[in-house]
Structure 1
Amino acid sequence: MSVSAETKLSKHLTCSYKSFGSSIELADVSSPDGFTSSHDDRDQSQDPVQLKELPSGSQEPFEPTKLKEMDEQCCALDTPVQVYAVSFIFAIGVTVALVTEIYLTPLAFIKGVVSDHERCTALGEKVLQDRGSSVDAAIVAALCLGIVHPHVSGVGGGGVMLVHDSRRNQTKVINFQGSAPQALTEDMVQNASDVKAGLFVGVPGMLLGLHRAHRLYGSLSWDDVVSRAADVAREGFNVSQSLAAAISQLETEKIEGRLRDIFIPDGQALKLGSYLRMPGLAEVLEAGFWNFYHGPISEEMEKEVIAKGGVLTREDIRDYSVEVQQPLECRYNGKESHVWSGRDQKVFTFSNFQLLSLIFLPEHIIQVPPPPSAGVALIAALNILESLFVVENNVAENQTSRWIEEALTRALTMVGELGDPNYNSSVTDFSAMISKGQGAGLQQRMKDFQQSSHASNSTIHRFPTEQLTGQVIVMGPDDLMVSVASSLSRPFGSRIVTESGIILNSLILDFFWPNQMREHPQSNQKNSLEPGKRPLTFLMPAMMVPTWNKCGSYMALSSSGGPNRLSEVTQMLVGLLFLHKEKNDTLSTGGLPPQLSN
C-alpha cells in the first residue's frame, strides 16, 4: 500500500488500512504534518502498513505493521458483537417509529369530489375547503344533482349511501330507498298500460336518508349544508346536455301539467345552455326534513298523488324509516406476483360509471350494499371469475370478455331470487351466492363455455333497464370515503310534480308482478309488490378497502342504468384485481355483453 503526497493525517495518528471490505484503524503515534508514499490499487490482499515519521529527504523504506500490535491498540472496542447490537437496536427503533407513525398520523388521503355535474362537484369541494366532513360534501353534491338533473334524482326519490371510516376500519350502508304505500296492492297494477301515474309513486326517502347520514358523520350544521344546494335552485343554472336530451325525449310524449310548464314553457323545450330556476325547491330544502315528512309538504305530496290516481298518504310518508346496515363484503387477493404502489389520487369517468381511487395494491375487500340492492351480483360474478383467473395464465382479451359475459349471466340469475329481506326470510340466506365455493364450483362449467361458441342457457329474470342514477363520490381529509347513488327510478320519475316543484318517483315500477311485462314471462316472486316493501334495485355504490389494517389502496365507485351497467363495474374490477391493468385501460375497454343489452 502507498499513500499519495496530497493525503494528510492529523498529528499523533497512525492509520492501518486492511484489505477490501475492512475498516480503517487509528492509533496514537508521533507524526509530522505530512507524509508521502506510493500506492498500487491492484493489490487488494497485501498486509497492512504503518505510516511513520521520516526525516526530510530520508530514503528509509516503510516497514510492515505488526497486525497483532495494531489490533490491541486500535480494535479493543470495535468488536463485531457491538456493531451487530447497535445495528439491531437502530433497526428496532426505526421499525417502532414507522409503526407509530402509521397508527398516530393522519392517512395520506388526497381530498376529492366526483359527481355527474361540475357545479355539484364544485359545491362539494367548497364544503371540504370550509372544513366540512366528507359526508357533508356528499350531501350537498347529491342535493345539487337533484336540482340540476331533475330527470334523474331529487328529494322526491331515494337512494343508497356507503360510508367507510378508515380510521375505525368500519363501513356503514345507509339505505334510504323508497317503499311501497301501505294501501297499494298487486291487483291495482295488474294491467300496467292502464295504471294511473299516481300508483307508481313510492314513499320518497332521499331527504330523511341524507339527514340520517348527517347525524352520523356531519360536521357543518344541517342548515348550512342544505342552504348551499338551495342557493343553486334559487339562483338558477344552465341546462346540461343530459337534461336537454331528456327534455327533448319528453317533448315527443304527450305530457301535461307542471312538468310541461317547467321544461317545455310556451311549447318550446329548453335547450342546452338554457337558464332554469326552481325557487320552489329552494323553499322545500330550507323548510327542513321535519316539514317534509311531518308537515305541510307531506300533505302537498299526498294531495298531488291522490289526484293522479295514487294511494300514497301522509301516514306513509310520516312512518318511513331509514335503515343503517352492514355491507356485504368479500376478500380478493389478485395475483401476488404483481404489486402496484403509490398514493396518487385519480378520477375517472366513463359513460355512466364513476371512480375515485388511490393507486392499487393486491389484497383488498370489495364492499357492496345488501339486498334489496343487487350488489350480491357483483360479488358473485367476481367470485366466479377469480376461480378462473387464479388457475389460468396469459388469458386472451376476447376470452376475458366471454368469461365476464357468462359470469354476469349466472350472477344475474342468482339476483333474480332476491328481494327485500324484511318481507322474505329466505332472502337473508344469500351466503351461498357470495361464497368462494360457489364461484369455484362453476369453474369447470365456465371452461366448458370457453370451448363453446354458444351463449349460456341461464335464464335472466326481467330487470328494470331504464333506471337512471345520480352519483356522488367523496374522499376527504377526515378519513371518510363516501359513495352515494340516488334515483327517481325512470326519467322524470312518475312525471308528477307538486306545487313546490318536487318531482315524484316511479319506484313501484321496480317491483315484479304478473303480466307487468308479457315479453318477460320470468318474474321474481321475492320481489313482488307488497305494502311497505322496498323493491330490488341496481343502485349499487361500492368500496374497495385494504384487507389488513389501514395501509393500502382505497377505491369508491358507482354505476347507473340497471343490470347493463353492472358489466362496467365488473370489467373495471376484473382489470384491476386479476389482470392488473391501469384504470384508464379498463375503462376504455367498454362494451356490454350482448345478451345483457337485449
Structure 2
Amino acid sequence: MARLLFLLLLLLPAAPAPAQTAPAIAGRHMLAVPDARAAEAGLAVLREGGSAVDAAIAAQAVLTLVEPHASGIGGGALMLHWDAAARRLSAWDGREVAPAAATPDLFLRPDGTPMGFHEAAVGGRAVGVPGALRMLEAAHREHGRLPWARLFAPAVALAEEGFAVSPRLADTIAREAERLGRDPAARAAFLLPDGSPPPAGHRLRSPALAATLRAVAEGGADALHRGPVAAAIAQAVRTNPNPGGMTPDELAGYAPVRREALCAPYRVFVVCGFPPPSSGGVATLQILSFLSHQDMPALGPLRPGHGAAQALDAALLLGEAGRLAFADRNRFLADADVVPVPVRGLLDPVYLLARAQMLDRDRALAPPLPRPGNPPRGPAAPPASQPPQPENGTSHLSIVDGHGNAVALTTTVEDAFGARIVAAGMVLNNQLTDFSFLPEIGGRPVANAVAPGKRPRSSMSPTIVFGADASPVAVVGSAGGSRIIGHVAQTLVAMLDWGLDPQEAVALPRVGGRDGVVELEAGTPAAALADSLRERGVPVEVRTNASGLHAIRIGRGPDGGRRLLGGADPRREGVAVGD
C-alpha cells in the first residue's frame, strides 16, 4: 500500500496546480492543506475510513518533508478537534516549551540591550522543546481509527525515493541558503554539493528524515523524544555556535495539554478558538465582538465591483478592531499556566461592549497606539515593547472526515526553516523568539517574558464555527505570524456576514490591524483604499502578504445531504480536495 501511494504521489508535479478559483465541493470528507502531496496522503487516509486526526497526522508527516521551512515534527502545533460522536470540542496543545536553561535574559546582549531577531533566532539559543508529535500521538490514542504506522507510510516513501522541490520551497531555500549553510546537517539536507540552492523541480531525497519517520512509525513519539533521536536533537542545540541548553531529559519529559476551547457568540453562530498560550483565540473573539456592533453584512467584501464607500468602511472597521484587540493582546496574553491572564475578563461582554464603542467608521482610534483596557480581574503587567517579528514558518490544515469529526490544526517551526538547524533529518524550531526579548519594562515583569518550562505566546488561531444546531459549520485557520489573527477574523466575516464561499473568502485582499498600523495588501483593491483611510486618520501600511488560509464550510446541498466547500489560499501552494 505504501509503495502504491508513493507512486501516486510521485506523479504530482513540483509546481502546484493553478490556484483554485472555485471552491472544492464534496459530500463525505474534505481537506484544505498547504501542499498537494500532503493532501493526497490525507485523502487516502480518509478514503480508508480514517478519522480527521488520522488525516492530519499523515498530512503533517508529509509536510515535515515537503514544506520543512514552515512546519514539521521538530516544531509545535495547536489543534482544535470536534468529536462528533461525543459532541465534544477539545483544544490540543502541542506548543513548544522553554528548556530549563532559558532564563529571562536569554535574548539580551551583555550590555542589556535586546538582540536582533536573527541574531537570536538562528542557532540553538531559540530552540524550544518540540511538541507537535507528542500532541498528535495523544489525540490519535483517543480519536484515531487507522494504525499509527500506516499514517507515516507516504512520508517515509517520499523521503526515501525523493520528491520534487516546489517553487515556494526553492525560493525559500535560496533566500536562506547562507544561514542554512552554517549548519552542516542543514547544508547537506537542502543545498546542492557546491552549496548552491536547488532549483524548483529538483528531486530532493532525505534518508535521515526517512529513518526518523520510520522509527516514529514503529515506536511512536518516544522514538523522537527518547533515545538516539532525542540525543541528536539535544546535541545539535547545545553544540551550535549560538547554543541553547536543551537536554535529552527535557525532550523525554515533554507532555501535551488538553485544554478547553474558548467560545463566544457572533451573530447566530458560536465561534470557538484556542486559549492561552495562544493569543489567537482571545484576540479573534474580541475582534468579532467589536464588529458585532457594526452592520458588517451591509458593508460587503473588498473586491472589484463592490461599492467603494462600503469597502472603505469595512476596511476601517476590520483594521481598527484588530488594533484594539492587539492592545489587549500585547499587554495581557501569555502562558496562563505560568502567569495570571484575565481570559474571562478580556471576553466579558460588558467589557467588550465598552471597548466596541471606541470604534467609529468615520475616524481612527486615537493615535499613535490604542491603549489596552482594564478588564475585570486584569493584572497590572506592562506590555511588551518588542516590534512584530518576521514569520515564514507556519502552516494550517482544515479537515472534515466522513464521521462528522473536524480538525483545525495550525503547525509551525516559527521562522523560515526555524533555527536553521537540522537534527535526525528534521528542521528544529526557533519558537523561543515568540517570547518578549525584554523581561521587564520600567522595573515590572512582562507577562510574555522568557522562563524555564514556559510556553511562548502564539498567534496561531485554529477556529471552528458552530451553527444553530451546535454542529460545525466552518473550519478555518492560517499561517502568517501575528497577522494570523486578522487573516482569520476577516475570513470569518467574509463567510458569516458576507456569505462568501471559502475560496472567495480566503482569496480576498487582506486587511488587518496590529499595533500601530492597519495593513493593506499590495497589488490588490485593498491598496487603493490607503489614501482615503489616511484622510480619516488611520495609520496605513501597504505591503505584500503571504497569508496561508485554509477553510472548509459545512452545510446542506439541494438534496438535503451534507455539502462541504473548501478553499485554499492562492498566495501559497495549498489545495482543497475531497469526495
**Normalization by structure 2: what TM-score?**
0.73
Change beyond 3 A, Cα 1:280–1:125 = same
Quickly say closer, same or farther: Cα 1:372–1:464, change in 2 above 3 A: farther
1:227 matched residue in structure 2: 153
2:529 counterpart residue number: none
* Residue identity matched to 1:270: P
Aligned to 1:368: 273
Of residues 446, 449, 458, the one that matches 2:370 is 458
Supply the AA of the counterpart residue of 2:353. Answer: A
1:489 aligned partner: 414
1:328 to 262, 267, 272: 262
The secondary structure found in structure 1 opposite 2:150 is: helix
Aligned residue among 185, 199, 214 for 1:258:
185
**1:310 to partner: Cα distance:** 1.6
Q: Which amino acid letter does the alignment assign opposite residue 129 of structure 2?
A: V
Partner in structure 1 of residue 554 of structure 2: none
Q: Deviations over 1:395-443 (max 9, x none)?
A: 822111101111000101111111001111x21x211222332332134
User: Which residue in the other structure is 1:307 paired with?
Assistant: 239
- Label 1:114 to 1:589 Cα distance change in 2 as closer, same or farther (>3 A): closer
Q: Is the 8 A contact 1:109 1:475 kept in 2?
A: no
Question: C-alpha separation between the residues in 2 aligned to 1:269 and 1:493?
Answer: 17
The equivalent position to 2:491 in structure 1, one of 572, 577, 587, is 572
1:408 aligns with 322
Tell me, yes or no, if structure 1 residue 563 matches structure 2 residue 478. Answer: no
Structure 1 position 391, deviation (Å): 11
Which AA in structure 1 matches 2:457?
L
**C-alpha distance after superposition, 1:174-206 (max 9, x if no partner):** 110101001221234212256572111110112
Contact 2:49 2:402 in 1 (8 A): no
Q: Distance in 1 between matches of 2:264 and 2:353?
A: 14
Aligned residue runs from structure 1 range 332-411, under 5 A: 332-333=266-267, 363-374=268-279, 375-389=281-295, 396-411=310-325
Aligned-partner residue type, residue 212 of structure 2 = V
Task: Give the Cα–Cα distance (whole angstroms) in 2 for the partners of residues 114 and 400 of structure 1.
Answer: 27
Aligned to 2:91, what secondary structure does the other structure show?
strand
- 1:69 is matched with none
Q: After the TM superposition, which residues 54-73 of structure 1 pair with which residues of structure 2 at under 5 Å, given as runs?
A: none
Q: CA deviation at 1:581?
A: 4.2
Q: Which residue of the partner structure matches residue 447 of structure 2?
A: 526
* CA-CA distance at 1:546 after TM superposition: 1.9
Shift of 1:521: 11
Aligned residues: 453
Query: Structure 1, residues 114-146: CA drift from partner, whole Å, max 9, x if none?
Result: 211001101101001112112101110011111
1:201 and 1:505 in contact (8 A); partners too:
yes
Distance 1:456 1:283, change over 3 A: same
Q: Which residue in 2 is equivalent to 1:38?
A: none
Match of 1:82 in 2: none
1:510-549 map, 5 Å: 510-514=434-438, 525-549=446-470
Cα distance in 2 between the residues matched to 1:451 and 1:189: 39
2 CA distance for matches of 1:134 and 1:523?
44
Q: Is 2:194 aligned against 1:281?
A: no
> Which of residues 430, 433, 438 in structure 2 aligns to 1:509?
433
Change (3 A) 1:166 1:431: same
Q: Is the 8 A contact 2:490 2:511 kept in 1?
A: no
Structure 1 residues 137 and 582: alpha-carbon distance in aligned structure 2, compared to 1, 3 A threshold: closer
User: Which residue among 222, 230, 233 is the counterpart of 1:290?
Assistant: 222
Give how far 1:264 is off. Answer: 1.9
Shift of 1:523: 11
Q: 1:185 and 1:296, CA in 2 relative to 1: closer, same or farther beyond 3 A?
A: same
Instruction: Label 1:188 to 1:527 Cα distance change in 2 as closer, same or farther (>3 A).
Output: closer
Paired letter, 2:459 = F
Residue 398 of structure 2: aligned partner: 473
Structure 2 CA distance for aligned equivalents of residues 223 and 524 of structure 1: 45
Larger radius of gyration: 1
In structure 1, which of residues 221, 241, 263 is the aligned counterpart of residue 167 of structure 2? Answer: 241
Whether the 8 Å CA contact 1:136–1:225 is kept in 2: the answer is yes
Mapped to 1, the partners of 2:141 and 2:297 lie a distance apart of: 47
- Aligned residue in 2 for 1:211: 137
Q: How far 1:111 sits from its partner (Å)?
A: 0.6
Q: Give the superposition deviation at 1:387.
A: 1.6
Pairwise CA distance, 1:529: 0.1
Structure 1 range deviating more: 588-597 or 222-231: 588-597
Per-residue deviation, residues 87-137 of structure 1 (Å, max 9, x unmatched): xxxxxxxxxxxxxxxxxxxxx953111211001101101001112112101
Instruction: Report which structure shows greater RCO (CA 8 Å, sep ≥6).
Output: 2
Question: CA contact under 8 A between 1:564 and 1:596: conserved in structure 2?
Answer: no
Equivalent residues of 1:389, 1:578 under 8 A apart: no
Residue identity over aligned pairs, in percent, reads 26
1:136 correspondence with 2:50: no
Structure-1 residue corresponding to 2:16: none
Following the alignment from structure 1 to structure 2, what is the Cα–Cα distance between the partners of residues 111 and 514?
Answer: 46
2:349 pairs with 1:436:
yes
CA distance in 2, matches of 1:228, 1:430: 41
Asked if structure 1 preserves the Cα contact closer than 8 Å seen for 2:396 and 2:411, the reply is yes
Task: Please list every run of 5 or more consecutive structure 2 residues that lacks an aligned counterpart in the other structure.
Answer: 1-25, 110-114, 301-308, 372-382, 520-540, 542-579
* Stretches of structure 1 lacking an aligned partner (at least 5 in a row): 1-107, 334-362
Secondary structure in 2 aligned to 1:491? coil
| Matched letter for residue 387 of structure 1 | H
Give the letter for the 1:537 counterpart. S
**1: CA distance, partners of 2:509 / 2:298:** 23
